């Protein structure tokens, strides 16, 4: 009988050791070999049974690993081109044999030459590790404004006419900007004239019931037949009654008047005055004098309640005989009085007052509060896909949308206290994507910020308010690509 020494079978047959005879019947159990036939060594067939039940798939297993997640073992296997978890076939990512796997919290991360994947044990779903960027962006536009009407001047103007001082007020059906009429104030000569309307209106809310913050705009159209004759325009909102002498908001637009057209206080002359010479010009501290001097031109450049300020910032461009849109933030109005309980919600009357340097006609139309959103200015937008957890926290996101190597940017879109409307939002076919990310640049923003998250992967359009002061940089990524394939994966120092 041949003597075949057998040691630990995973090291194979050891021919280096001294031959030791195996007594007849001594070997009663073997692993992988059939020793029942004298003179031969026959390998056993594959296992015909196991104690894993249905946790491994049927057929030839090319690779298998067991990973523990929170004390529970998961059996991962590859059969051909299919990947299985506890005997159930999973799709959503490509995994080949051999592969390596590790777990972090309730996630199992797998890497093979075909790519990297993530198995979510709570959702029992397989995803590619990372999200592919979109190849298109939504269309963005400014949503319609929401208003609070103060006076559209379409009526008979009873109060305006009765309360006129040093001017004549009439309804003008010939010269108007909106609707079919405007209010006309006629000044026969140089004078300070005014009129007011007893109109109680809550200027702290808009017509849809939403709150109107102080950044919303007091809006009206202004037309002056001869701008040289208008020196100052004054708007007041009385909070106590109609006296306009206790608690009220006021705003005064100081215009160049006739002096500017006589060569005194021209912008060109103003620009030749050095800041260092201001004290010498006024004979006192400029910082003190600027609040009280009536010299046009010099003060107008720096005063936010002057025509020159608005003109230089491209906000107002007054011309004789041309309608001009005036929009002044409510926060720019000066608050007079001591009763702090009264606010824009308590407006009882509105007054228009003008100081003229000669005969002129002033038309005013469509007086209202304009709001509906927080954005004002020109903005640009980018878009990406992401994944939020059950708590709404953003845990993964793609690079921004691009076509080939070009980042896709939508804009500019001009806003005037409006919300953002988006349409044709691209949806992802990746089942792990459950939200879309919108990024914004413009206005007072000097870099890209996350504007808002659309918390689904099903809707293609909607409207969202964006406030620059509430934005974050989270999720702005230009090179956030899906993870590549590999031969091993480890988790160390909080990173894969």
DSSP 8-state symbol, 171:
E
Considering the domain boundaries, does residue 302 fall inside one? no
**pLDDT tens by residue, 279-310:** 444 444 433 333 333 333 333 344 555 555 55
What span, in angstroms and rounded, lies between the C-alpha atoms of 365 and 367? 6
| Contact call for residues 385 and 218 (beta carbons, < 8 A) | no
Token pair listed for 304: 């936010």
- Please report where in the chains the tokens 């720019």 appear, as a residue: 332
Question: Taking every pair of C-alpha atoms in the chain, what is the biggest distance, in angstroms?
Answer: 138
Q: Are residue 201 and residue 215 in the same domain, yes or no?
A: yes
Q: Are residue 427 and residue 399 in the same domain, yes or no?
A: yes
Round the average pLDDT of the chain to a whole number and report it: 81
**pLDDT tens by residue, 305-348:** 555 555 555 567 778 899 989 998 999 898 998 898 999 999 99
Token pair listed for 319: 């011309």
The last residue of a domain, from among 371, 391, 409: 371
Q: Are residue 444 and residue 391 in the same domain, yes or no?
A: yes
pLDDT (average), residues 258-273: 37
Q: What is the per-residue DSSP string for 93-124?
A: S---SSEEEEEETTEEEEEETTEEEEEETTTT
Alpha helices (H) along 321-378? none
| Residue 424 φ/ψ, nearest 5 degrees | 55, 40
What span, in angstroms and rounded, lies between the C-alpha atoms of 327 and 347? 18
Q: How confident is the model at residue 106 (pLDDT cuts 50, 70, 90)?
A: confident
Nearest to 495 by CA among 102, 98, 76: 102
Considering the domain boundaries, does residue 455 fall inside one? yes
Nearest to 382 by CA among 413, 404, 407, 405: 407
The last residue of a domain, from among 371, 394, 411: 371
Cβ density class 374-408: b for 16+ within 10 Å, e for less: bbbeebbbbbbbbbbeeeeeeebbbbbbbeeeeeb
Considering the domain boundaries, does residue 215 fall inside one? yes
Q: Are residue 349 and residue 411 in the same domain, yes or no?
A: no
Query: Coil, helix or strand for 494?
Result: coil
Could you give the C-alpha distances from 130 to 302, 398, 411, 496, in angstroms and in order? 53, 7, 28, 13
- Total of domains in the chain: 2
Considering the domain boundaries, does residue 31 fall inside one? no
**pLDDT tens by residue, 129-186:** 889 999 999 999 999 999 999 999 999 999 999 999 999 999 999 999 999 999 999 9
What span, in angstroms and rounded, lies between the C-alpha atoms of 83 and 78? 5
Q: Are residue 338 and residue 385 in the same domain, yes or no?
A: no
What span, in angstroms and rounded, lies between the C-alpha atoms of 83 and 248? 74
* Statement: residue 271 has pLDDT above 50: no
Cβ neighbours around 415 below 10 Å, total: 23
Burial tier of 479 (Cβ tally within 10 Å: 0-12, 13-18, 19+):
exposed
Considering the domain boundaries, does residue 201 fall inside one? yes
What span, in angstroms and rounded, lies between the C-alpha atoms of 352 and 94? 73
Helix (H) or strand (E) holding 160: helix 158-162
Residue 269 pairs in a beta bridge with: none
Kind of pairing between the strands at 33-34 and 230-238: unpaired
How many Cα atoms within 13 Å fall on the side-chain side of residue 96? 7
- Please report where in the chains the tokens 């007072």 appear, as a residue: 444
| Residue 257 φ/ψ, nearest 5 degrees | 60, -170
What span, in angstroms and rounded, lies between the C-alpha atoms of 113 and 173? 79
Q: Are residue 365 and residue 397 in the same domain, yes or no?
A: no
- Omega before 494 within 30 of 0, i.e. cis: no
Considering the domain boundaries, does residue 346 fall inside one? yes
Q: Are residue 324 and residue 466 in the same domain, yes or no?
A: no
Q: Are residue 366 and residue 429 in the same domain, yes or no?
A: no
CATH number at residue 222: 2.60.120.260
pLDDT (average), residues 191-214: 93
* Statement: residue 125 has pLDDT above 70: yes
Considering the domain boundaries, does residue 445 fall inside one? yes
Cβ neighbours around 186 below 10 Å, total: 17
* Statement: residue 479 has pLDDT above 50: yes
Residue 326 pairs in a beta bridge with: 220
Nearest to 158 by CA among 195, 105, 206, 193: 195
Nearest to 379 by CA among 329, 326, 341, 420: 420
Percent of the chain whose pLDDT exceeds 70: 76
Give the pLDDT of residue 23. 60
Q: How confident is the model at residue 41 (pLDDT cuts 50, 70, 90)?
A: low
Q: Are residue 356 and residue 461 in the same domain, yes or no?
A: no
Considering the domain boundaries, does residue 234 fall inside one? yes
**pLDDT tens by residue, 216-229:** 999 999 999 988 88
Q: Are residue 208 and residue 355 in the same domain, yes or no?
A: yes
Q: Kindly report the CA angle at 47 between 97 and 96, in degrees rounded to 5?
A: 5
What span, in angstroms and rounded, lies between the C-alpha atoms of 264 and 299? 12
- Please report where in the chains the tokens 């501290």 appear, as a residue: 285
pLDDT (average), residues 49-61: 74
Name the residue range of residue 445's domain.
139-143+374-470
Q: Are residue 251 and residue 150 in the same domain, yes or no?
A: yes
Q: Are residue 243 and residue 198 in the same domain, yes or no?
A: yes
Give the pLDDT of residue 301. 41
Give the pLDDT of residue 391. 87
Give the pLDDT of residue 238. 94
């Amino acid at each position: 009988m041949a003597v075949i020494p057998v040691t630990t079978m995973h090291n194979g047959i050891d021919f280096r050791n001294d031959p030791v005879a195996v007594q007849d019947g001594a070997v009663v159990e073997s692993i992988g070999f059939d020793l029942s036939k004298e003179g031969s060594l026959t390998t056993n067939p594959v296992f015909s049974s196991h104690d894993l039940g249905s946790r491994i798939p049927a057929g030839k297993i090319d690779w298998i690993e067991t990973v523990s997640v929170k004390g529970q073992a998961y059996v991962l296997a590859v059969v051909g081109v299919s990947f299985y978890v506890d005997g159930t076939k999973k799709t959503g990512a490509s995994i080949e044999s051999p592969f390596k796997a590790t777990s972090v919290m309730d996630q199992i991360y797998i890497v093979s030459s075909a790519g990297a994947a993530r198995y979510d044990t709570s959702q029992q779903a397989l995803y590619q590790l990372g999200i592919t960027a979109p190849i298109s962006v939504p269309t963005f536009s400014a949503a319609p404004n929401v208003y609070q009407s103060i006076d559209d001047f379409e009526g008979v103007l009873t109060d305006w006419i009765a309360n006129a001082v040093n001017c004549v007020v009439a309804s003008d059906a010939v010269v108007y900007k909106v609707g079919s009429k405007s209010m006309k104030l006629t000044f026969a000569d140089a004078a300070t004239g005014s009129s007011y309307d007893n109109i109680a209106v809550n200027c702290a809310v808009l017509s849809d019931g939403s709150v109107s913050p102080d950044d919303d705009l007091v809006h009206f159209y202004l037309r002056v037949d001869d701008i040289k004759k208008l020196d100052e325009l004054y708007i007041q909102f009385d909070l106590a009654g109609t006296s306009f002498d206790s608690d009220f908001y006021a705003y005064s637009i100081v215009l160049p008047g006739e002096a500017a057209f006589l060569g005194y206080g021209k912008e060109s002359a103003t620009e030749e005055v050095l800041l260092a010479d201001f004290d010498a010009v006024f004979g006192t501290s400029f910082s003190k004098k600027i609040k009280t001097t009536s010299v046009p031109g010099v003060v107008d450049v720096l005063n936010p309640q002057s025509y020159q300020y608005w003109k230089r910032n491209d906000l107002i461009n007054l011309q004789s005989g041309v309608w001009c849109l005036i929009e002044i933030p409510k926060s720019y109005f000066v608050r007079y009085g001591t009763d702090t309980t009264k606010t824009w919600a308590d407006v009882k009357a509105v007054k228009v007052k003008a100081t003229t340097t000669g005969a002129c006609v002033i038309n005013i139309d469509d007086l209202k509060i304009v709001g509906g959103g927080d954005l004002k200015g020109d903005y640009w937008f980018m878009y990406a896909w992401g994944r939020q957890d059950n708590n709404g926290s953003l845990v993964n996101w793609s690079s921004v949308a691009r076509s080939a190597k070009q980042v896709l940017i939508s804009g500019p879109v001009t806003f005037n206290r409006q919300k953002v409307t988006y349409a044709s939002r691209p949806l992802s076919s990746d089942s792990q994507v459950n939200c879309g990310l919108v990024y914004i640049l413009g206005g007072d923003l000097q870099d890209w910020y996350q504007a808002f998250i659309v918390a689904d992967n099903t809707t293609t359009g909607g409207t969202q308010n964006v406030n620059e002061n509430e934005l974050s940089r989270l999720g702005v990524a230009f090179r956030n690509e899906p993870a590549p394939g590999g031969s091993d994966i480890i988790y160390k120092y909080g990173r894969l």
